[in-house]
Structure formats: C-alpha cells, structure tokens
Structure 1
Amino acid sequence: MVSQRMMRHVPWLAGTAFLLLAASMPSVALEAPDGPAVLTVSGQISVTNQADEAVFDHAMLEALGRHTTITSTPWHDEALHFTGPLARAVLQAVGAEEAQTVIAVAINGYEVEIPVEDFYIYDVIFATHANDTPMSVREHGPVFVIYPFDSDSSLHQETIYARSAWQVTRLLVDVD
C-alpha cells in the first residue's frame, strides 16, 4: 500500500527521473534542410541532422538571427552591409558551447583556424548577404567570415584578415 507521504513525492521523483533520462539521451537533431546545403558543421558537436554533421541551408541560417555589420574590408572598395547569423549562434545551435577552435574550410580548400573566443569578444558573423543580396560564390559566398573591422582598430591586422575566410562551406569544431 502506498502512503499519502509517498504519493506526494511521486511527481518529484518522476520529474527527476525524466531529467536524468533526458540528460543521458543524445541531443535533439536539427531539422533537415529544405534547400541546398550552404554550411556543414562537423567535429565535436552534439546537435546534428545528417550522420555526425549539422547541415544548414539559407533559411536555417537566417532562422538563427540576422545580424548586420557595416564595415569596410581589405577586399572591397567601400563599406558594405554584411548580414548573417552571429558565429556564436551557429555554435550554440550545434551544441558546441565547449569549442575552443573552429577550422573554416573554403570551396578552394583554404583552411583557417579561428579561436572561438573571437566569436564572443567580437560580433563575428557568418555573412550570407552583402548589401541585402545573397552572396554567390563569385561574390565571396556562400558564407564569408566577417569581423566588425570598423568597430575596433585592433582588428586591422593580417592574423584577423586571414581568419576572414570567404566561400566557406564547412566548419570543423574542436574543443582542444
């Protein structure tokens, strides 16, 4: 026979059991992309939608929030309005909160290691649009790593310029 005292604790026990079970289960997967893949994130991530990767189309990246940075770059004649999700929002979406570095990989094989702390110190975006127009491969798309160069003069250095990869299609996440 179950006592009244035990009955009062059953909801608490059930809730605790649910939390323990949920904590031991794999993370919830992202929805599959409806459109063409724009960015694939792999490595040490806990949220995926395809094998061990998180694949994003334009709509999925846009759903992470549109952040606009107006800045000049060494590769353009004038300041442009770059729009895309904050880099840290993408890492959060794939469950990579413990990440230490990200390797951005471009279509041509260019790879650059970016310390994740940059994404939290600066509003680095994974730009998909320039002046409200989707960036084609010819125009540095589909993803261009953009630092807010005009907001901080310390960003005007070769190391940061090298991290501003364009034509990025893949990110490799590492926690070491």
Structure 2
Amino acid sequence: MRGFLRQMWSNISKLDLFLGRRLPFGMRIEMVLMTNLGDVDDVEDGRYAKCAYVNFLQCIRNMIYKLMYDHDDVCVYVTHYDEYLQLSRDITRVFALTKEQWEYEKSVRDGPGEDMDKFYLVAPWPEEEEGVIAYGYHGAELRQYIGERWGLKEALDTTTTYKIREGRYWPRAVRADGRG
C-alpha cells in the first residue's frame, strides 16, 4: 500500500509542472477520487478501508491547497466516488485549512515528500500485533489523527466538524517516541 500511495503522490506532484505556468483567470479544477472501499462498517475491513481513504486524501492534500491558495482565482472542487456509497460526494470542504494555516504548514515542513513518509496511516490486519511502526502513524490513531489534522469526526465525512489544531498530527508529524 505504501508504494502505491507514494506513486500516486508522485504522479499528482507532477501537476506542479502545469502549475508553474500562469493559469487562466477563473480556472476551475476538479479532482475526482475514485475508490472501491467496500463495506466500511465491517469491523475487520472497515479500519483498513478508512485508513486507506485518509491516505488517499493525504496524497492529494498538498496539491489541493496549492491550487486553492498559491494561485489567484483558481476554483477547486474535490469529488469522491465509490460504488458502495452509491452517489458521488463533494468532499471539497474536507480541505479546511485557512490560507494562514497553509502558509504556516509550508514554513515548518521538512520537504515535499514529508507527507507520505510521516503522515501515512498504517492499518494492520486484525491478526497482527499492535507493535511499533517505523514510519507514519498506527491505524489505531485514526480518530485522533483525522480530528486534529483534518477536522473530521469520521473518516468519510464530507465536511469538517472541528477546527484543525496544532499538535501531534498538524502541522508537523510527531512520532510515538516524541521525535519529529
């Protein structure tokens, strides 16, 4: 999964080549996230599916904020489609950082690849031990992670419930051992 996410992040990052040119005034860009999460309410598969979904959001996160705040008059929409959810959903409001928060996050970031290395959610299968992980966050931290970093109450929410707040998950990653 991590290799797949890194490749997805790398492909989306190539949009920077397009963004380096002056964008047409009033440009509208829509990102469509297509998933096949299955039954997210299933006890065994649900945690894995929700972690995978949040990891997908993390892959497109920086590009969405670049489009929203680093370019004048670009309108960004994000749509999520999953056959199990039946209807496509507008999830644009999941990307709720203010311009000031985005500027602050960019100022403390270690580098462009930090998002996939440090903010990855590792969702072990139920039979695996809840052991120490070498990178990212343990899937058991999902609820705290989405609340602090994304402002979400549930992984599949279409809008934020909480304010994004500084702490363990935003704007920098803090590992379980306390190191960044």
Pairwise same-fold verdict (TM > 0.5) = no
TM band (smaller chain): under 0.3
TM-score with structure 1 length normalisation?
0.26
Larger radius of gyration: 1
Which structure has greater helix proportion?
2
TM-score, with length taken from structure 2: 0.26
- Whose strand fraction is larger, Structure 1's or Structure 2's? 1
